[in-house]
Amino acid sequence: MGGKMIFEESPSLELYKKGIPEKLPDPHRRKKILWGAISALMVVVLVLGGIRMKQSGALDWLTGKGTLTGVVVDDFHRPIPADVYLLDLDRSTRCDEFGRFTFEGVPAGTHTILIAYRVAGREYPAQVFSGRINDAGTLRFLPGDFDHGWSQAVNALP
| pTM summary value | 0.59
CATH (residue range 65-148)? 2.60.40.10
Q: Pairing state of beta strands 133-140 and 100-107?
A: unpaired
118's enclosing H/E stretch is none
Burial, 72: exposed, middle or buried (Cβ in 10 Å; 0-12, 13-18, 19+)?
Answer: buried
Q: Where are the alpha helices (DSSP H) in 57-141?
A: 58-63
Q: Residue 30: name the closest of 9, 2, 4, 14 by CA.
A: 9
Strand order in the sheet with 100-107: 100-107, 65-73, 133-140
Q: Residue 138: name the closest of 87, 91, 66, 79 by CA.
A: 79
Amino acid in position 18: K
Report the C-alpha dihedral over residues 84, 86, 91, 97, rounded to 10 degrees.
Answer: -20
Report pLDDT digits (tens) over 67-100: 999 999 988 899 999 999 999 999 999 999 999 9
pLDDT digit of tens for each residue in the chain (158 aa)? 455 656 666 667 776 777 776 776 777 888 888 999 999 999 999 998 878 877 766 666 666 899 999 999 988 899 999 999 999 999 999 999 999 999 999 999 999 999 999 888 899 999 999 888 999 999 999 887 777 655 544 443 33
Q: Residue 145: name the closest of 113, 130, 123 by CA.
A: 123
What one-character DSSP code corresponds to residue 157? -
